[in-house]
């Protein structure tokens, strides 16, 4: 039930006019619970069952492959919309307060950007902590390396990518490591997202598109300049997208080949920045191509354990080895291989 409630509240829903879905007792139970909670906090129901609509959880149904793909696309769009809504609802008042205080006391743009970034990562940590309690996630951390390398210094944080919950995990992790003043490499379309896009652009995140787009290099250089000025860290997923077994290669069986361009540019722009390499190891695995694709599929994470293998690497070790990223990814692939 906790997974169902979290799924409903975070938007694990899509609209369907099928009559069998309307009468499904599981759907009615989830919607009823979500409505009760929303009435308690917001004084009005969030999900309403009407004649022309029904709210369906991601249940297993006999549908054609085309319909499944359409529903997956709808789920992805809705997940982004709900995430932006929740993020804006939580962060926007505090961001406005930070901007107002900065204007009244004539604080520098650097100080304002850093405060907004820390605020966003703090709220992200709160969301992930709540998800851990609702979904009964067991999170363990193993750190290898000298933690002194990341104290009051810029860092380059990299991680493998298996599900959309990974973003919340990394947000919580960097805040826990004292790296709340961090920026992200994000997909270009998110720049136009309400609230989220404004905040991300305001603090200096890099917005890139897939493929070899010359504008990506300019975005990374612009972001790197802000990182140097703010003494901030950068977070990126070198794979560029979530891993699915169908994309596995002969060299990597459990991760995708890393894209070195962005990583190398940030390492060159921040020569004194240590590298924090994070391996997200879900047990049981979620990267099977069907689970954990959107934030709506909360039940796929219920009761799972997550081990975060963190390796802190000194700057000179990375800069002296041109193939360091590939070697690191080979190490991740070994960690994720079943015993």
pLDDT tens, position by position, 39-54:
443 344 443 333 333 3
The region of weakest confidence among 27-36, 167-176, 192-201 is: 27-36
What mean pLDDT is predicted for residues 152-163?
92
What mean pLDDT is predicted for residues 53-67?
43
The residues, ordered by sequence, that sit 6+ positions from 243 with a Cβ below 8 Å of its Cβ are 160, 161, 162, 254, 255, 256, 287
In-domain check, residue 67: no
Q: Is 338 helix (H, G, I), strand (E, B) or coil?
A: coil
What mean pLDDT is predicted for residues 253-265?
91
How far apart CA 38 and CA 166 sit, in angstroms, is: 26
In-domain check, residue 96: yes
Residues 180 and 294 reside in one and the same domain: yes
In-domain check, residue 72: no
Residues 55 and 176 reside in one and the same domain: no
Q: Is 245 helix (H, G, I), strand (E, B) or coil?
A: helix
Domain that holds residue 167: 79-336
Residues 103 and 7 reside in one and the same domain: no
- Say which CATH number the domain at 99 has: 3.40.1130
pLDDT in the model for residue 116:
85
Higher pLDDT, 62 or 182: 182
In-domain check, residue 190: yes
Cβ contact 327:36 at 8 Å:
no
> Which of 105-114, 161-170, 183-192, 229-238 is the most confident on average?
229-238
The angle formed by the CA atoms of residues 312, 292 and 41, to the nearest 5 degrees, is 100
Residues 38 and 160 reside in one and the same domain: no
Higher pLDDT, 257 or 73: 257
Residues 183 and 293 reside in one and the same domain: yes
In-domain check, residue 52: yes
Cβ contact 86:127 at 8 Å:
yes
Residue 315 has pLDDT above 50, yes or no: yes
Residue 234 has pLDDT above 80, yes or no: yes
Residues 157 and 52 reside in one and the same domain: no
Q: How many structural domains compose the chain?
A: 2
In-domain check, residue 40: yes
What mean pLDDT is predicted for residues 241-261?
85
pLDDT in the model for residue 233:
96
Q: Is the pTM of this model over 0.85?
A: no
Residues 49 and 87 reside in one and the same domain: no
How far apart CA 5 and CA 172 sit, in angstroms, is: 22
How far apart CA 286 and CA 166 sit, in angstroms, is: 11
Cβ contact 165:295 at 8 Å:
yes
How far apart CA 128 and CA 168 sit, in angstroms, is: 6
In-domain check, residue 249: yes
Mean pLDDT, the chain, whole residue set: 76
What mean pLDDT is predicted for residues 276-287?
86
Residues 108 and 196 reside in one and the same domain: yes
Higher pLDDT, 20 or 29: 29
pLDDT in the model for residue 237:
95
pLDDT in the model for residue 23:
53
Residues 39 and 150 reside in one and the same domain: no
What tokens were used for 277? 């390499």
Residues 127 and 263 reside in one and the same domain: yes
Higher pLDDT, 8 or 67: 67
How far apart CA 227 and CA 191 sit, in angstroms, is: 19
Residues 24 and 167 reside in one and the same domain: no
CB-CB neighbours of 193 under 10 Å: 19
Residue 20 has pLDDT above 70, yes or no: no
In-domain check, residue 73: no
Residues 211 and 129 reside in one and the same domain: yes
């Amino acid at each position: 039930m906790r997974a169902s409630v979290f799924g409903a509240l975070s938007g694990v829903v899509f609209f369907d006019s099928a009559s069998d879905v309307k009468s499904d007792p599981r759907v009615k139970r989830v919607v009823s619970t979500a409505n009760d909670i929303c009435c308690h906090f917001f004084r009005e129901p969030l999900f309403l069952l009407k004649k022309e609509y029904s709210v369906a959880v991601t249940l297993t149904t006999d549908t054609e492959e085309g319909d499944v793909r359409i529903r997956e696309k709808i789920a992805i769009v809705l997940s982004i919309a709900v995430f932006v809504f929740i993020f804006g609802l939580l962060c926007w008042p505090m961001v406005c307060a930070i901007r107002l205080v900065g204007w009244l006391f004539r604080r520098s743009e650097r100080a304002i950007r850093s405060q907004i970034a820390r605020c966003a990562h703090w709220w992200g940590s709160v969301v992930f902590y709540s998800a851990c309690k609702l979904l009964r996630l067991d999170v363990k951390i193993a750190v290898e390396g000298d933690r002194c390398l990341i104290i009051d210094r810029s860092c380059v944080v990299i991680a493998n990518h298996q599900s959309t919950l990974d973003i919340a995990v990394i947000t919580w992790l960097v805040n826990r490591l004292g790296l709340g003043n961090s920026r992200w490499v994000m997909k270009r379309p998110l720049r136009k997202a309400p609230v989220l896009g404004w905040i991300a652009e305001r603090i200096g995140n890099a917005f890139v598109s897939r493929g070899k787009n010359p504008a990506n290099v300019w975005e990374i250089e612009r972001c790197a300049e802000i990182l140097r000025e703010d003494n901030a860290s950068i977070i990126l997923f070198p794979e560029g997208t979530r891993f699915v077994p169908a994309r596995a290669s002969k060299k990597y069986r459990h991760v995708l080949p890393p894209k070195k361009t962005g990583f190398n540019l940030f390492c060159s722009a921040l020569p004194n920045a240590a590298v924090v390499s994070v391996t997200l190891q879900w047990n049981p695995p979620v990267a099977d191509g069907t689970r954990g694709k959107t934030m709506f599929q909360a039940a796929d994470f219920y009761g799972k354990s997550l081990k975060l293998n963190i390796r802190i690497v000194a700057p000179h070790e990375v800069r002296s080895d041109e193939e360091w990223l590939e070697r690191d990814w080979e190490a991740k692939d070994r960690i994720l291989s079943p015993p």
